[in-house]
């Protein structure tokens, strides 16, 4: 198992996917996404998605398009936050970033993006939960979000 926060190490690992390294997913992820789907998402398909995402969120796009748009979103959010008595900075900042990504990827309005974010959060939490399909459990909420 490799756990890395180093960009150079991560790049090397991703370049060696299917050669020196193979992705592994928790059993819960296999249940939620489907083992066949996860197996098919290794190798060539995974490289395609990474390259596609790099085009949307890579360094060049970041410099030319995303940073100016993010700056505008932050300015608007700061103006909105100044009128509120208190805010949760972590939650609010995450909303700003998720709203921008949802707009860039699928053209969602912020209201719809917030609903998607809730489902996405439930989905991510479910990926690392115990696979108990019972109302009230994290896994149950994840399956409902899917």
Collapse the DSSP code of 17 into the 3-class scheme (helix H, G, I; strand E, B; otherwise coil) and give the result.
strand
Nearest C-alpha neighbor of 110 from the set 120, 118, 100, 122: 100
Per domain, the residue ranges of the chain are: 1-57, 67-146
> Per-residue DSSP letters for 49-71?
HHHHHHHHHSHHHIIIIIHHHHH
pLDDT tens digit sequence for 27-58: 777 676 666 655 555 667 667 777 777 776 67
pLDDT tens digit sequence for 69-120: 888 888 988 998 899 999 898 888 888 888 887 887 778 787 888 888 888 8
> Residues 94, 74: contact at Cβ < 8 Å?
no
Instruction: Quote the pTM value.
Output: 0.51
> Residues 92, 81: contact at Cβ < 8 Å?
yes
pLDDT value for 79 = 92
Bridge partners, 17 (sequence order): 21
17 backbone dihedrals φ, ψ, rounded to 5°: -60, 125
């Amino acid at each position: 198992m490799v756990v890395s926060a180093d960009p150079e190490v991560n790049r090397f690992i991703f370049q060696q996917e299917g050669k020196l390294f193979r992705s592994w997913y928790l059993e819960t992820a296999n249940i939620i996404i489907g083992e066949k789907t996860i197996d098919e998402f290794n190798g060539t398909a995974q490289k395609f998605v990474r390259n596609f995402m790099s085009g949307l969120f890579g360094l060049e796009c970041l410099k030319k398009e995303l940073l100016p748009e993010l700056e505008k979103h932050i300015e608007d959010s700061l103006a909105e936050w100044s009128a509120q008595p208190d805010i949760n900075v972590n939650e609010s900042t995450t909303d700003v970033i998720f709203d921008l990504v949802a707009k860039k990827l699928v053209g969602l309005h912020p209201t719809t993006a917030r609903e998607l974010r809730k489902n996405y959060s439930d989905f991510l939490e479910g990926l690392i939960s115990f696979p108990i399909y019972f109302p009230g459990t994290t896994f149950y909420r994840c399956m409902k979000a899917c």
